[in-house]
Amino acid sequence: MKNDNLIIGDKTITNRLFIGTGKFPKDGMIKPALEISGVEVVTVALRRVDFGSESRNMLQYIPKNCILMPNTSGARTAGEAVRIARIAKAAGCGNFVKIEVINDNKYLMPDNLETLRATEILSKEGFVTLPYMSPDLSVAKKMKEVGAAAIMPLGSPIGSNQGLKTKELVRIMIEEIDLPIIVDAGIGKPSEAAQAMEMGAAAVLCNTAIACADDPVQMALAFSLAVKAGRTGFLAGLGAVSTQGEASSPLTGFLRDNP
């Protein structure tokens, strides 16, 4: 695990759990959750940041050492996503951006084509782009071609806590695309985050499962530990899966074989 760092853009990241800041029952719970988890990358919707009011400014709850990754939540087209990203950068939020384009009101599935367009525009402008998408290998390859710094496929519908329902599609993306693959959305349990990391995901982004837990602070810690465990298991190399039993010790040459 020594020097097992994740590099995105010009940032070196050691904690592979990313956390979102929505849905917490109290804004005051955000900071202790981020601190106990040791998280380094935090995403926030620009519409929840009020730069003119300290009491309503979400940024006050984010530790200064964290990398702020504004998302384009609320965008329904590539053009809207681009405008949101530009506003965030102009307001001093940096050049990292999670590109999120959703025009489906029922399942909240991302629009991959509009997301691709926004990724191309913003990458050319110098943004470090992390597009959130429905796992699709061909579209993900195009996102890499136009400059995406990482790809963020959903595990299941956003906010659903259904877990890693797209496991095989995500596995293929991890295998075929030479970019960090960050599982985003739908992860409901620490064990599911560990599973994503065991597959070789570069990181996991979680919000609902932490924020809506009975104890969000302790759940943030649980997810941080799970991500570390999954990453360690991946690096260690998981054992082969067998279709039949195989004894860990010899079953012959003992008792029954003796005269």
Please give the Cα distance from 103 to 70 (Å, whole number). Answer: 19
* Residue 208 included in any domain: yes
Residue 103 within any structural domain of the chain: yes
In a domain, 128, yes or no: yes
> What Å distances lie between residue 111 and 46, 75, 131, 200, 247, CA to CA?
19, 10, 11, 25, 49
Q: Domain for residue 249, yes or no?
A: no
Can you give the residue range of the structural domain that contains 180? Answer: 6-236
**What is the DSSP-derived secondary structure letter of residue 139?**
H
Q: Which helix (H) or strand (E) holds 35?
A: helix 30-37
Paired residues of 13 in beta bridges: 6
Residue 143 lies in a domain: yes
Asked if residue 57 is part of any domain, the answer here is yes
Segment 93-130, tens digit of pLDDT:
889 999 999 988 899 999 999 999 999 999 999 999 99
User: Is the pTM value of this prediction over 0.85?
Assistant: yes
Residue 89: active-site member: no
Beta bridge partners of 205: 18, 184
Tokens standing for residue 157: 């519908």
Residue 242 lies in a domain: no
* CATH number, domain containing residue 14: 3.20.20.70
Candidates 2, 26, 89, 98; catalytic one: 98
Least-confidence region, from 47-51, 197-201, 228-232: 47-51
**188 band by pLDDT with thresholds 50, 70 and 90:** very high
Mean pLDDT, residues 9-27: 91
Q: Which amino acid is at 202?
A: A
Q: Would 258 be classed as within a structural domain?
A: no
- Total of domains in the chain: 1
